[in-house]
């Protein structure tokens, strides 16, 4: 324990002294053009002062150095007490501009804050998908061993960056949002981060920036695509005795669930709420039992071309949304997984989240996904159509295509 | 509600207008520093002032300047500078004029960020050059005001850039009127500035600026100094003409002209003021050759015979050793325009300049001359100066011994023997008659006796007057004056004495310099003005030395007598006037700033060390004294009442401490609420514990407890207060977890 008591103050002083002579980790200070000129002037005047032992020059040199010190103090005061919060509300879709907000708060009581900038960055989790080269073909050495520089350049191209300036002053105790408009270019997980906060304040001598640990993981849904319907294929009515349960607006009570903000008070089941001591609301069954199940097969065997796979993912997402809006989406599934009932918007969002990150899987396509397995009716599946387009099939019959 | 009442911050256009205003003010201020330089640039200063002021008042006018003017501006400026260099042949004045032309151009054209930066650099050049060449106390004011203006301008430029999204767009064309010009109203801008200025921010800004000045002062004291002894880097680029002062050729009336000037000439700091004579004589130049045109000069022969070769040095040794050895030192500040010959009281042990100089020393004459007249104040320090009126000259003794004599035993007249007399005919006869009258037939009269009698003779025939004139007539003017009863000034008296002494066969010479001065009661130094310029004579004492003779009526000292020193002498010349107050500032500037060197720096550090040691000793003594008192108090007899009082007091103190510890969070919370800092102390404490626990390695088996405590702390830090666990219990568990965890933290990302 004694060592704990003595080591901490020692460490504190050591760190304090070290921080005075060396910038903290992840802090960066670069001289600007004016700063470089100031430093060059200081060097010239210092040389002349030592050369001539002229105290007028020593005074000028001292004043220049003191201005640098003042610049550091004002810069520190400017950044002190600033708090920030990243606000990024889903959904994010490929090709749709999304606004990211950084809520800034000045915690200082007297001093305003000026001239900050924030570096935003959106990093996709996986690099850009490329067509897998043929396994048997002889590949040139340069292609097989891609230079590190190319890999880094490709990764850098996938990263979207943006810098936003705090144009007006941030008054003491005040709040101001800083917006960054960002258009995701591909689906998948994206790490949204605010990399740095920086400033040239007060005199523009030094470009000072601090690295920030401000990030959020988000999912970018596939882009909506346009498709053509091929009429004539209607959903099959359920056979007698077959029961399909999904929510709707009919008079049949389907289930009870917890109250959620926004639910109508008329739906509250008072008896059950009193018994369980928590608010429960009634869910009713749908008027119509007509609906579709959607299954998307990500097998690489089915989708040898990457861009066609991407199109298929977007097509599946678009179709799922359209069917849900029409109240005709019953269940969804990916690959050989069992179907997942879609009763509310959150279920659809879950499916879209999974679609956003789905990748081609090695191995053959399951029989379930081709719509040829017995016992599956009104099942929508997807398959390539030609070299570029994708078609959707209901129970094996083509019903729409891109 | 209070936020709503605040006026909106300055808009982009208002910031740009402020930027224009500050740039113009900076350009004007920089241009006006040329007034402190002896450079022929008045036309350029006037043009810059007019141009920049016009652009400030009517900022739309620069838009009317045609594009071809902007295209031709820089080639024309470059060609003008080249011609200036070629025609005048002086680098520094040409550079100053170039700087002014660029300032003018930048002041009357719309500026981007880099142009404002250029403006600052150009202005700094002028301020620094003016400061280096003038060494005036005005430089302190100039550099502080310039720094304030430049920092304000750079701040506004940064804010303008931020308001424009990080960087201002470049100017499309130099003669396109920017948008901010259309909305310009200086009165409204100043009102807006007053509206948006928060007095607390303004106060803090002023305090920070004062802090900059203080820090720069500390840096000035702390910057390590080395004696490289190079120097003269700016002086060589400018040829300065002497405005007034002493030179090798002094005509009758020159010294009198200097006397008309009341300006400061010399300031002297003395380590011990009591050693300063009541009326000190400062020798600057010895003049041996009398010319028929009227006046004395330093002859080329004497110069060759007595002056050493020129050298560049910051210090050199003299021939004297004062009465007080190392304890005595004079620091002399010679103003510019006085002379290139340094004022010296007599022989000295060591002469040290504040920076290296090109210097020539004559040990026999005790005269020091610089190569050029200094463009700025020159400071030097004399170690162990001698203020005696007698100047030994062993070499002259030898010269006289070897010199040929006539039948009467007198030396033959020779310039080398300081007996040169170019008078002929009646002038020589008239002079001989006067000398005979003084000698009264005693041809072997001792030199000092002759000097006394000659002084008396001159005093009887002539009175002292500054506004004297030489009588009209033929012949030598000095002989004419001797023959008349006209009043005269010091040059006439001293010159006449030299002629009389020489005609009588006594080697004599004229000396010019300063005499007298006042003692500044505020800065505690001797001040000599130009009106204290004086001429006197030196006569050979017949043995081994030159003796000072001041034949001017009213001279206090007798022939060869040393001036009285001490407190009484100092009291006689004390100056407590307002002028003395103002000059004390100038002396402070010279003493503490301009003349600051490595030695002074070491003295300050030693003084600081001594003060620290004294304070430490006092503290130690106070602690020891307290300890002794405590022991004495404890050793007193303990009765029941005394014990109860002490125990009660201790209990009260302990209780107060316990209460303070127990309710520290509540009190802090209330204080923070009152002061507007509404951060819950529980959340703050939880955050503190989280920081302590987050980076630590966890001992085996303790992961679960560590994670549980961290989760509880996170709930306290970020969760709703209704969901909080008991804070005190959580902090106890956190303390226990921290105690169990190893002290070495893991590396944080």
Helix axes B42-57, B12-32, angle to 10 degrees: 160
Q: What pLDDT shows up at residue A52?
A: 79
Q: Is residue A44 assigned to a domain?
A: yes
R_g of chain B, CA atoms, integer Å: 39
Report the pLDDT averaged over residues B168-189.
Answer: 78
Is residue B594 within 8 A of residue A56, CB to CB? The reply is yes
> Confidence band (pLDDT; 50, 70, 90) for B657?
very high
In this complex, which of B124, B155, B223 lies closest to A58 when CB atoms are compared?
B223
Q: What is the DSSP string of B71-126?
A: HHHHHHHHHHHHHHHHHH--HHHHHHHHHHHHHHHHHTS---HHHHHHHHHHHHHH
Inter-chain residue contact A1 with B143, CB threshold 8 Å: no
Closest CA–CA distance from residue B156 to any residue of chain A (Å): 8
Which residues make beta-bridge pairs with A401? Answer: A228, A391
Range of the domain at A261: 246-287
pLDDT in tens, B311-345: 888 889 888 765 544 568 889 988 877 888 999 98
User: For A335, left (φ over 0), alpha (ψ -120 to 50), or beta?
Assistant: left
Residues of chain A with Cβ-Cβ distance to B354 below 8 Å are: 53, 55
Inter-chain residue contact A41 with B124, CB threshold 8 Å: yes
Inter-chain residue contact B147 with A55, CB threshold 8 Å: no
Contacts of B742 (CB under 8 A, 6+ apart): B696, B697, B699
How deeply is B120 buried, as exposed, middle or buried, from its count of CB atoms within 10 A (0-12, 13-18, 19+)?
Answer: buried
Same domain, residue pair A152 and A266: no
Token reading at B28: 């004007």
Fold of domain B394-516+534-563: C8orf32 fold (3.10.620)
* pLDDT one digit per residue (tens) for chain A, 402 residues: 334 444 567 777 777 777 666 666 678 888 888 888 888 989 999 988 888 778 889 999 999 999 988 888 888 889 888 988 888 888 889 988 889 999 999 988 888 898 899 999 998 876 544 444 443 444 444 545 567 777 777 777 778 888 888 888 898 888 999 999 988 888 999 989 998 899 988 888 888 888 887 888 889 999 999 988 876 554 444 444 444 555 555 566 777 888 877 778 888 889 999 988 888 888 776 545 567 889 898 988 888 888 899 999 999 999 999 998 888 888 899 888 888 888 888 889 999 999 999 988 887 777 665 555 555 578 888 988 888 889 998 877 888 888
Inter-chain residue contact A56 with B208, CB threshold 8 Å: no
Same domain, residue pair A48 and A122: yes
Inter-chain residue contact A56 with B139, CB threshold 8 Å: yes
Which residues make beta-bridge pairs with A215? Answer: A193
Same domain, residue pair A205 and A329: no
Measured in degrees and rounded to the nearest 5, phi and psi for residue B541 equal -80, 5
Nearest residue to B298 via CA among B353, B369, B392, B235 = B369
Residues of chain A with Cβ-Cβ distance to B232 below 8 Å are: 52
Q: What pLDDT shows up at residue A394?
A: 85
Q: Which of B153, B206, B220, B684 to mutate to test the interface with A (most CBs of A within 10 A)?
A: B220
Three-state DSSP at B221 gives helix
Nearest residue to A113 via CA among B487, B201, B323 = B201
Q: What pLDDT shows up at residue B173?
A: 67
* Residue B662, CB-side half-sphere exposure with 13 Å CA sphere: 6
Is residue A182 within 8 A of residue A122, CB to CB? The reply is yes
Q: Is residue A8 assigned to a domain?
A: no
Closest CA–CA distance from residue A267 to any residue of chain B (Å): 29
Residues of chain A with Cβ-Cβ distance to B143 below 8 Å are: 59-60, 63
Q: Is residue A22 assigned to a domain?
A: yes
The H or E element containing residue B396 is helix B394-402
In this complex, which of A33, A110, A168 lies closest to B200 when CB atoms are compared?
A110
Q: What is the β-pairing status of strands A82-87 and A98-106?
A: antiparallel
DSSP state of B246: B
Is residue B297 within 8 A of residue B249, CB to CB? The reply is yes
Inter-chain residue contact B597 with A53, CB threshold 8 Å: yes
Is residue B551 within 8 A of residue B456, CB to CB? The reply is no
Using CA atoms, how far apart are residues B155 and B322, in angstroms rounded to an integer?
57
Token reading at A224: 């909506």
Inter-chain residue contact B743 with A4, CB threshold 8 Å: yes
Same domain, residue pair A212 and A350: no
Inter-chain residue contact B128 with A50, CB threshold 8 Å: no
Residue of B nearest to A4 (CA): B743
Same domain, residue pair A216 and A229: no
Contacts of A180 (CB under 8 A, 6+ apart): A99, A100, A101, A102, A118, A120, A162, A164
The H or E element containing residue B734 is helix B727-740
Residues of chain A with Cβ-Cβ distance to B155 below 8 Å are: 202-203
Inter-chain residue contact A173 with B3, CB threshold 8 Å: yes
- Cα B455 to its chain centre, rounded Å, is 43
Inter-chain residue contact A61 with B743, CB threshold 8 Å: no
Q: Is the Cβ of A63 closer than 8 Å to some Cβ of chain B?
A: yes
Q: Which residues of A233-264 are buried (b: 16+ CB within 10 A; e: fewer)?
A: bebeeeeeeeeeebbbeeeeebeebeeeeeee
Closest CA–CA distance from residue B111 to any residue of chain A (Å): 15
Closest CA–CA distance from residue B235 to any residue of chain A (Å): 11
Omega cis (within 30) before A91: yes
Same domain, residue pair A215 and A144: yes
Inter-chain residue contact B208 with A109, CB threshold 8 Å: no
CATH number at A194 reads 2.60.40.10
Q: What pLDDT shows up at residue A126?
A: 65
Contacts of A286 (CB under 8 A, 6+ apart): A246, A247, A248, A249, A250, A327
Q: What pLDDT shows up at residue B467?
A: 73
Same domain, residue pair A146 and A181: yes
Q: Is the Cβ of A114 closer than 8 Å to some Cβ of chain B?
A: yes
pLDDT surpasses 80 at B484: yes
Same domain, residue pair A31 and A94: yes
* Annotated domain spans of chain B: 7-184, 394-516+534-563, 642-674, 679-740
Q: Is residue A11 assigned to a domain?
A: no
Inter-chain residue contact B151 with A7, CB threshold 8 Å: no
Same domain, residue pair A230 and A217: no
Q: What is the β-pairing status of strands B367-370 and B289-290?
A: unpaired
Residue of B nearest to A56 (CA): B132
Residue of B nearest to A49 (CA): B231
Nearest residue to A203 via CA among A51, A334, A74, A391 = A74
> Confidence band (pLDDT; 50, 70, 90) for B694?
confident
Q: What pLDDT shows up at residue B156?
A: 92
* Residue B439, CB-side half-sphere exposure with 13 Å CA sphere: 20
* Residue B174, CB-side half-sphere exposure with 13 Å CA sphere: 16
Q: What contacts 24+ positions apart, CB below 8 Å, involve A86-91? A: A86/A192, A86/A194, A86/A214, A86/A215, A86/A216, A87/A177, A88/A192, A88/A216, A88/A218, A90/A218, A90/A219, A91/A221, A91/A349, A91/A352
Using CA atoms, how far apart are residues A365 and A357, in angstroms rounded to an integer?
18
Same domain, residue pair A212 and A274: no
- Cα A308 to its chain centre, rounded Å, is 24
Q: Which of A60, A106, A162, A179 to mutate to test the interface with B (most CBs of B within 10 A)?
A: A60
Closest CA–CA distance from residue B530 to any residue of chain A (Å): 26
Is residue B396 within 8 A of residue B389, CB to CB? The reply is no
Inter-chain residue contact B162 with A48, CB threshold 8 Å: no
> Confidence band (pLDDT; 50, 70, 90) for B626?
very high
Report the pLDDT averaged over residues B471-500.
Answer: 86
Q: What is the DSSP string of B298-338?
A: --HHHHHHHPPPPEEEEEEE-S---TTGGG-EEEEEEPTTS
Q: What pLDDT shows up at residue A375?
A: 52
> Confidence band (pLDDT; 50, 70, 90) for B571?
low
Inter-chain residue contact B228 with A56, CB threshold 8 Å: no
pLDDT in tens, B444-462: 888 989 999 999 899 888 8
Using CA atoms, how far apart are residues A78 and A73, in angstroms rounded to an integer?
9
Q: Is the Cβ of A111 closer than 8 Å to some Cβ of chain B?
A: yes
Inter-chain residue contact B6 with A171, CB threshold 8 Å: yes
Q: What pLDDT shows up at residue A1?
A: 38
Same domain, residue pair A174 and A231: no
Q: Which of A35, A66, A174 to mutate to test the interface with B (most CBs of B within 10 A)?
A: A66
Inter-chain residue contact A59 with B143, CB threshold 8 Å: yes
Inter-chain residue contact B211 with A70, CB threshold 8 Å: yes
In this complex, which of B140, B166, B223 lies closest to A163 when CB atoms are compared?
B166
Inter-chain residue contact B163 with A167, CB threshold 8 Å: yes
Q: Is residue A7 assigned to a domain?
A: no
The H or E element containing residue A379 is strand A379-385
Using CA atoms, how far apart are residues A220 and A207, in angstroms rounded to an integer?
34
Inter-chain residue contact A63 with B212, CB threshold 8 Å: yes
Report the pLDDT averaged over residues B416-428.
Answer: 79
Q: Is the Cβ of A2 closer than 8 Å to some Cβ of chain B?
A: no
In this complex, which of B159, B219, B676 lies closest to A109 when CB atoms are compared?
B676
Which residues 122-181 on chain A approach chain B with CB closer than 8 angstroms? 163, 165-169, 171, 173-174
Is residue B227 within 8 A of residue A53, CB to CB? The reply is yes
Same domain, residue pair A72 and A178: yes
**CA of A376: how far to CAs of A243, A322, A340, B659, in Å?**
14, 21, 14, 76
Token reading at A212: 């920030």
Inter-chain residue contact B158 with A202, CB threshold 8 Å: yes
* Distance spanning both ends of chain A, measured CA to CA: 71
CB–CB contacts below 8 A, A to B: 157
Inter-chain residue contact B117 with A3, CB threshold 8 Å: no
Q: Which of B3, B123, B149, B162 to mutate to test the interface with A (most CBs of A within 10 A)?
A: B162
- Cα B537 to its chain centre, rounded Å, is 35
Q: What pLDDT shows up at residue B677?
A: 58
Number of domains in chain A: 3
Inter-chain residue contact A58 with B231, CB threshold 8 Å: no
Q: CA B431, B432, B437, B441: dihedral to nearest 10 degrees?
A: 160
pLDDT surpasses 50 at B242: no
Inter-chain residue contact A204 with B596, CB threshold 8 Å: no
Q: What pLDDT shows up at residue B251?
A: 73
Residues of chain B with Cβ-Cβ distance to A36 below 8 Å are: none
Q: What is the β-pairing status of strands B525-529 and A160-165?
A: unpaired
Q: Which of A6, A47, A54 to mutate to test the interface with B (most CBs of B within 10 A)?
A: A54
Using CA atoms, how far apart are residues A302 and A43, in angstroms rounded to an integer?
69
Closest CA–CA distance from residue A201 to any residue of chain B (Å): 6
Instruction: Please tell me the least confidently modeled range out of A251-255, A335-339, B37-41, B196-200.
Output: A251-255
Residues of chain A with Cβ-Cβ distance to B128 below 8 Å are: 45, 56-57, 60
Is residue B295 within 8 A of residue B252, CB to CB? The reply is yes
Residues of chain A with Cβ-Cβ distance to B213 below 8 Å are: 66
Helix axes A33-52, B113-134, angle to 10 degrees: 10
Q: What pLDDT shows up at residue A236?
A: 47
């Amino acid at each position: 324990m004694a060592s704990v008591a003595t080591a901490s103050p020692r460490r504190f002083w050591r760190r304090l002294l070290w921080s005075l002579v060396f910038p903290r980790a992840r802090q960066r200070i670069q001289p600007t053009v004016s700063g470089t000129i100031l430093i060059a002037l200081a060097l010239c005047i210092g040389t002349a002062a030592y050369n001539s032992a002229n105290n007028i020059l020593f005074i000028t040199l001292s004043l220049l150095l003191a201005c640098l010190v003042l610049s550091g103090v004002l810069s520190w005061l400017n950044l002190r007490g600033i708090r920030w919060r990243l606000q990024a509300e889903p959904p994010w879709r490929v090709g749709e501009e999304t606004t990211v907000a950084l809520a800034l708060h000045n915690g200082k009581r007297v001093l305003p804050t000026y001239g900050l900038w924030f570096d935003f960055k959106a990093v996709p989790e996986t690099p850009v998908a490329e067509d897998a080269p043929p396994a048997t073909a002889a590949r040139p050495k340069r292609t097989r061993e891609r230079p590190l520089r190319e890999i880094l350049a490709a990764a850098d191209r996938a990263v979207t960056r943006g810098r936003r300036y705090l144009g007006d002053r941030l008054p003491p105790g005040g709040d101001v949002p800083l917006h960054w408009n960002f258009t995701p270019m591909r689906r998948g997980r994206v790490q949204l981060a605010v990399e740095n906060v920086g400033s040239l304040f007060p005199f523009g001598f030094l470009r000072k920036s601090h690295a920030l640990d401000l990030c959020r993981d988000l999912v970018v849904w596939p882009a909506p695509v346009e498709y053509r319907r091929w009429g004539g294929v209607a959903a099959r009515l359920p056979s007698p005795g077959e029961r399909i349960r999904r929510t709707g607006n009919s008079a049949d009570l389907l289930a009870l669930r917890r109250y959620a903000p926004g639910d109508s008070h008329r739906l509250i089941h008072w008896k059950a709420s009193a018994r369980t001591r928590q608010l429960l609301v009634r869910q009713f069954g749908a008027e119509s039992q007509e609906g579709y199940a959607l299954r998307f097969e990500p097998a690489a065997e089915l989708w040898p071309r990457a861009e066609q796979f991407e199109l298929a993912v977007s097509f599946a997402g678009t179709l799922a949304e359209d069917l849900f809006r029409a109240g005709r989406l019953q269940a969804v599934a990916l690959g050989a997984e069992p179907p997942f009932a879609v009763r509310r918007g959150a279920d659809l969002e879950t499916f879209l989240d999974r679609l956003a990150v789905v990748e081609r899987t090695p191995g053959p396509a399951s029989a379930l996904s081709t719509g040829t397995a017995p016992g599956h009716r009104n099942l929508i599946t997807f398959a390539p159509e030609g070299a570029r387009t994708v078609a959707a099939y209901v129970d094996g019959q083509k019903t729409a295509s891109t | 509600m209070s936020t709503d009442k605040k006026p909106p911050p300055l808009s982009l256009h208002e910031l740009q207008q402020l930027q224009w205003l500050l740039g113009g003010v900076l350009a004007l201020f920089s241009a006006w520093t040329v007034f402190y330089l002896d450079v022929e640039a008045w036309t350029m200063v006037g043009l810059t002032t007019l141009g920049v002021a016009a652009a400030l008042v009517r900022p739309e006018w620069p838009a009317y300047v045609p594009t071809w003017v902007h295209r031709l501006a820089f080639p024309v400026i470059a060609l003008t500078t080249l011609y200036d260099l070629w025609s005048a042949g002086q680098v520094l004045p040409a550079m100053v004029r170039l700087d002014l032309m660029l300032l003018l151009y930048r002041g009357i054209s719309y500026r981007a960020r880099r142009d404002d930066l250029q403006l600052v650099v150009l202005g700094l050049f002028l301020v620094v050059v003016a400061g280096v060449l003038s060494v005036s106390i005005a430089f302190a004011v100039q550099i502080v005001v310039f720094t304030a203006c430049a920092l304000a301008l750079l701040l506004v430029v940064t804010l303008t850039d931020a308001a424009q999204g990080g960087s201002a767009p470049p100017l499309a064309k130099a003669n396109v009127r920017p948008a901010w010009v259309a909305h310009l109203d200086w009165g409204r801008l100043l009102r807006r500035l007053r509206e948006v200025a928060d007095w607390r921010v303004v106060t803090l800004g002023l305090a920070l600026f004062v802090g900059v000045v203080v820090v720069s002062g500390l840096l000035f004291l702390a910057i390590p100094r080395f004696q490289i002894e190079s120097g003269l880097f700016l002086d060589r680029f400018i040829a300065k003409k002497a405005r007034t002062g002493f030179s090798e050729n002094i005509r009758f009336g020159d010294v009198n002209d200097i006397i008309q000037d009341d300006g400061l000439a010399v300031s002297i700091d003395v380590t011990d003021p009591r050693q300063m004579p009541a009326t000190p004589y400062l020798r600057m130049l010895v003049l041996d050759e009398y010319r028929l045109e009227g006046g004395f000069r330093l002859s080329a022969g004497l110069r060759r015979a007595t002056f050493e070769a020129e050298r560049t040095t910051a210090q050199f040794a003299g021939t004297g050793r004062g009465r007080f050895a190392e304890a005595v030192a004079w620091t002399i500040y010679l103003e510019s325009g006085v002379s290139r010959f340094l004022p010296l009281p007599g022989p000295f042990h060591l002469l040290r300049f504040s920076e290296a100089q090109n210097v020539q020393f004559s040990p026999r004459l005790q005269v020091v001359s610089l190569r050029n007249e200094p463009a700025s104040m020159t400071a030097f320090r004399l170690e162990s100066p001698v203020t005696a009126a007698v100047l030994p000259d062993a070499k002259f003794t030898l010269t006289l011994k070897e010199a040929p004599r006539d039948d009467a035993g007198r030396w033959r007249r020779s310039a080398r023997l300081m007996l040169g007399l170019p008078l002929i005919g009646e002038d020589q006869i008239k002079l001989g008659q006067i000398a005979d009258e003084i000698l009264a037939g005693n041809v072997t009269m001792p030199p000092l006796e002759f000097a006394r009698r000659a002084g008396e003779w001159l005093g009887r025939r002539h009175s002292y007057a500054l506004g004297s004139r030489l009588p009209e007539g033929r012949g030598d003017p000095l002989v004419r004056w001797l023959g008349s009863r006209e009043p005269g000034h010091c040059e006439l008296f001293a010159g006449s004495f030299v002629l009389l002494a020489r005609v009588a066969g006594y080697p004599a010479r004229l000396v010019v310099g300063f005499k007298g001065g006042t003692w500044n009661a505020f800065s505690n130094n001797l001040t000599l003005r130009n009106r204290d310029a004086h001429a006197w004579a030196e006569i050979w004492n017949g043995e081994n030395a030159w003796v000072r003779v001041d034949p001017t009526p009213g001279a206090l000292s007798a022939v060869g007598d040393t001036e009285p020193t001490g407190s009484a002498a100092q009291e006689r010349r004390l100056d407590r006037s307002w002028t003395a107050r103002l000059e004390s500032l100038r002396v402070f500037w010279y003493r503490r700033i301009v003349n600051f060197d490595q030695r002074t720096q070491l003295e300050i550090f030693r003084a600081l060390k001594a003060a620290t040691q004294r304070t430490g000793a006092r503290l130690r003594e106070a602690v020891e004294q307290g300890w002794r008192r405590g022991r004495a108090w404890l050793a007193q007899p303990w009765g029941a009442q005394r014990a109860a009082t002490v125990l009660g007091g201790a209990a009260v103190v302990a209780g107060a401490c316990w209460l303070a510890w127990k309710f520290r969070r509540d009190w802090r919370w209330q204080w923070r609420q009152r002061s507007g800092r509404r951060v819950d102390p529980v959340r703050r404490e939880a955050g503190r514990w989280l920081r302590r626990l987050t980076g630590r390695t966890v001992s085996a088996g303790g992961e679960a407890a560590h994670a549980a405590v961290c989760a509880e702390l996170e709930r306290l830090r970020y969760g709703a207060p209704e969901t909080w666990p008991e804070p005190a219990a959580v902090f106890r568990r956190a303390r226990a977890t921290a105690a169990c965890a190893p002290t070495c933290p893991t590396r944080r990302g």
